[in-house]
C-alpha cells in the first residue's frame, strides 16, 4: 500500500532522480515534473527516470512542464492526490548566476511562488525545500550550524534566491500554521548511484568540481582549473564538505517522513561535518579511478568562499539521519558512473 503520492519538482535532475529512487524504495508513489532544462530526453520521457524505473522496478509518472506554467501545473494537482512536495526545481550554478542574475531570480523565485499558490489552492501543505549552504554567506565559524546568521554577505544570486525563498516560506507558515515546511541546507553533493545507472550529467562544461574532475579522467576535458591556491586553508585551495548524493537523497526521505509531526518551519543541514580541500579531493579521485587528473591553477572565481563545513548534529538528533558514505566511496561511485557512461545520458555526438 502506498504511503502517499509525492510531487517531485526537478525530479529528472541529478539530486531529484536519486531522491526518487529512495522515495520509491520507501513505499511512496512519485509524480515528477521537470522542464528538461538540465535533463536528457529518452524514449517517452527523461532518460534518468527510465533508469530510475530500472533500478527500482517501479513506475514514475512524469510531466514535462515549467513551474511558471500554472495551468499545466494545476492539472497535475487535479489529476493526482498529492500529499507532499519535494521541491528541487531551479537553476543551481553559483558561477552562472553571477553572469545571469535575472534568469536565476525569475526561474527560482517565480516558479516557487506559483507552486506554493497552487499547493494552497489544493490544500497541500507539506513541503520539503531544497535549500543550500550558500544562504550562510561567509561563515563566522566552522562547522556551520543552523542558527548561524543567514542572508548576510551572500556572494552570488543563486544563494540569494535560496535565501529569499526561505524567507517566503517563513511568511507562509506565519500566515497559515497548518503548513509543515522543512528546509534542507545542503553542502556539496557528489557521487552517483552504486549501480552506475544514474549520476550527474551537466549540459556542457561542468560548473562543479567533481564532475569536471571525472570528465578530465575519462578524457573529455584536457585539464581541471583550480580556482585559486591562495585561500587561507592548509594547501591554499578551497575546502568543502562533500556529501554523497545518495546520503543526501536519504536525508530528504527522513525529512519527508518527519513532516507530519514537524509543524511549522524546520531547518536542517545535510553534510558530513568533514572538509576536504580541492587538491585532496582530486587525489582521492585519482586513487579511485587509477587515472591522472591534470590541473592548472587559475585565479579565484567570483562568488567562491575559502572554507565551508556543515554541523549536521541537528539532523541526526531530530531526523535520525547521518551521512554514512565518505569521500572514497563518493569518488568510487562517481567514477563507476563516468566510466560506464562516458558522455552521461547523451550520445557522444550530442555531448558538449
Q: Could you give the CA distance from residue 93 to residue 95 in angstroms, rounded to a whole number?
A: 5
| CA 197 and chain centroid, separation | 18
Which sign, positive or negative, has the C-alpha torsion 71, 74, 80, 85?
positive
The DSSP symbol for 90 reads S
Q: At what angle do helices 70-79 and 111-121 cross, to 10 degrees?
A: 40
Q: Could you give the CA distance from residue 36 to residue 20 in angstroms, rounded to a whole number?
A: 16
Q: Count Cβ atoms within 10 A of the Cβ of residue 257 and give its class: 0-12 exposed, 13-18 middle, 19 or more buried.
A: middle
Q: Could you give the CA distance from residue 217 to residue 292 in angstroms, rounded to a whole number?
A: 6
CB atoms under 10 Å from CB of 106, counted, come to 14
- Is 163 tagged catalytic? no
Locus of grid cell 509543524: 263
| CA 346 and chain centroid, separation | 21
Lookup: cell for 307: 572554507
Q: Which of 14, 158, 163, 212 is the catalytic position?
A: 158
Q: Catalytic residue numbers?
A: 158
Amino acid at each position: 500500500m502506498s504511503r502517499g503520492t509525492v510531487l517531485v519538482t526537478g525530479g529528472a535532475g541529478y539530486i531529484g532522480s536519486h531522491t526518487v529512487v529512495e522515495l520509491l524504495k520507501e513505499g511512496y508513489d512519485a509524480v515528477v515534473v521537470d522542464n528538461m532544462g538540465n535533463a536528457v530526453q529518452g524514449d517517452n520521457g527523461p532518460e534518468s527516470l527510465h533508469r530510475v524505473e530500472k533500478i527500482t522496478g517501479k513506475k514514475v509518472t512524469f510531466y514535462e512542464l515549467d513551474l511558471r506554467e500554472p495551468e499545466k501545473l494545476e492539472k497535475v494537482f487535479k489529476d493526482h492526490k498529492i500529499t507532499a512536495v519535494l521541491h528541487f526545481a531551479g537553476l543551481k550554478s553559483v558561477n552562472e548566476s553571477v553572469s545571469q542574475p535575472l534568469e536565476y531570480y525569475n526561474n527560482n523565485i517565480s516558479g516557487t511562488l506559483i507552486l506554493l499558490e497552487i499547493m494552497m489552492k489544493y490544500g497541500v501543505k507539506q513541503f520539503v525545500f531544497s535549500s543550500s549552504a550558500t544562504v550562510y554567506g561567509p561563515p563566522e565559524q566552522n562547522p556551520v550550524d543552523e542558527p548561524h546568521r543567514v542572508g548576510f554577505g551572500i556572494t552570488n544570486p543563486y544563494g540569494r534566491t535560496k535565501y529569499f525563498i526561505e524567507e517566503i516560506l517563513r511568511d507562509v507558515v506565519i500566515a497559515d500554521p497548518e503548513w509543515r515546511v522543512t528546509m534542507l541546507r545542503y553542502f556539496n553533493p557528489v557521487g552517483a548511484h552504486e549501480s552506475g545507472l544514474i549520476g550527474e550529467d551537466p549540459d556542457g562544461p561542468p560548473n562543479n568540481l567533481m564532475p569536471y574532475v571525472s570528465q578530465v579522467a575519462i578524457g573529455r576535458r584536457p585539464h581541471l582549473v583550480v580556482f585559486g591556491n591562495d585561500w587561507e586553508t592548509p594547501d591554499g585551495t578551497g575546502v568543502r564538505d562533500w556529501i554523497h548524493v545518495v546520503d543526501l537523497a536519504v536525508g530528504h526521505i527522513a525529512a519527508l517522513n518527519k513532516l507530519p509531526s514537524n509543524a511549522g518551519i524546520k531547518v536542517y543541514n545535510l553534510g558530513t561535518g568533514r572538509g576536504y580541500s580541492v587538491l585532496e579531493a582530486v587525489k582521492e579521485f585519482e586513487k579511485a579511478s587509477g587515472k591522472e587528473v591534470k590541473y592548472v591553477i587559475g585565479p579565484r572565481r567570483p562568488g567562491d568562499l575559502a572554507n565551508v563545513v556543515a554541523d549536521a548534529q541537528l539532523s541526526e538528533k531530530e531526523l535520525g539521519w547521518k551521512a554514512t558514505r565518505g569521500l572514497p566511496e563518493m569518488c568510487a561511485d562517481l567514477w563507476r558512473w563516468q566510466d560506464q557512461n562516458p558522455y552521461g545520458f547523451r550520445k557522444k555526438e550530442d555531448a558538449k
